[in-house]
Amino acid sequence: TRKPNFFSLLGFVSVLLTGGLTIFLWNKDGTIKPHADVLFGLKEASIPLVLALAVIGSHFTGSSLLRAFLYSDSIFNVPEIEKRVEELNASEFYQKILFEATLLFAASFVLSAAMNFGLAMYFLGDLDYTAANAKELYNERIAKVTGWGFVVIGVPILIFLFFTLQRLLKGLGKLTGLKDDEMMLPR
């Protein structure tokens, strides 16, 4: 049997929230309840905020999300880095570098939450909730929020993650004396 993972469940919950919120917002006469923009924006912001909290919380468990996504054995030569850290008796500084990278990684999700909220407000903010075709207008705007989200949110997040990776490399290099190519696995 397959065990569902956290991200699959979060994606499923997000879809349920979108559908449930849409059903809640639609009135029988074809209009939309007021404040749909704020409610949808909060829904859009909630998922990245949960991810940010999960990234920070996971730092204190045995399964850090930073290690799963950025500082993983498939990208970094973690055994070599940790061997050097042990030789230098620098475990405290090593943990500090990892925690700072964790906070930066989590901050990328906080940025995503803010941008998701802003995008929802931009596209849904001037929606005429009382229009006879408000449902259709709402659906069109939600599609725009989704479509533009990949560009407006995705590109800055990738830049932010690149910055986080650079900071991690710089901190680990300074601590261990290893060069980037010694810390990264060959591709």
Residue 10's pLDDT band (cuts 50, 70, 90): confident
Q: What is the pTM of this model?
A: 0.86
**Tokens at residue 79, please?**
């055994």
Residue 122 neighbours by CB distance under 10 Å: 16
Q: If you ran DSSP here, which 8-state letter would residue 30 be given?
A: S
CA 90-95-100 angle, 5° bins: 130
- Distances in Å between the Cα of 90 and the Cα atoms of 24, 28, 80, 93 are 54, 64, 14, 5
Task: Answer whether residue 2 shows pLDDT above 80.
Answer: no
Rg of the chain (C-alpha set): 21
Locate all alpha helices (DSSP H) within the chain, ordered by sequence: 6-25, 36-59, 65-69, 78-87, 91-124, 134-152, 154-176, 180-183
**Tokens at residue 106, please?**
């989590």
Residue 29, helix vs strand vs coil: coil
Per residue in 128-162, pLDDT (tens digit) is 999 989 999 999 999 999 899 888 888 888 998 99
* pLDDT for the residue numbered 3: 75
Per residue in 48-106, pLDDT (tens digit) is 999 999 999 999 998 899 998 889 999 999 999 999 999 999 999 999 999 999 999 99
